[in-house]
Amino acid sequence: MTQRNGFTLIELLVVIAIMTTVLTLVAPLMIEQVDKTKAAAEFHEARQYLTDSRKVAFLKGQLIVFTFEGKQLRRDIGSDSVTLEFQYLFFPSQQLQINANGFTDKTQITVVAGNKQQHIELAEKK
């Protein structure tokens, strides 16, 4: 009687077929989850940028004007302008002003991430 060393071709093909089926089912879910995570990271980045800009306005004693349009956020301080591009966030057309004391003219900014509308809260919680 001979000893078997290894797998037959049929056994290997069955294992490959099973693995392919599982990956076909799981891969889209994994990619979707990665996109959701990146969108959440961009949302928190935008919120932190707005919060930090309130401090900048106070420290510089200058008005800051934000313009939100599509996937762009533009910040104007005097003659200086900075534009941020986002991949996963979409902003309906809106504007925000932060006065020299760090106070905003709005309490929230509307953001669309994926198919979900969210708001960046600008007012301090009491």
List, for residues 64-94, the tens digit of each pLDDT value. 999 999 999 999 998 999 999 999 999 999 9
CA-to-CA distance for 68 and 91, rounded, in angstroms? 6
Confidence at residue 111, expressed as pLDDT on a 0 to 100 scale = 95
User: Residue 21: which residues within 8 A CB-CB, separation 6 or more?
Assistant: none
Distances (CA, A) of 92 to 2, 26, 42: 73, 33, 16
Confidence at residue 126, expressed as pLDDT on a 0 to 100 scale = 47
Confidence at residue 94, expressed as pLDDT on a 0 to 100 scale = 96
CA-to-CA distance for 64 and 54, rounded, in angstroms? 8
Confidence at residue 121, expressed as pLDDT on a 0 to 100 scale = 92
pTM: 0.76
Q: Which residues of the chain have pLDDT under 50?
A: 126
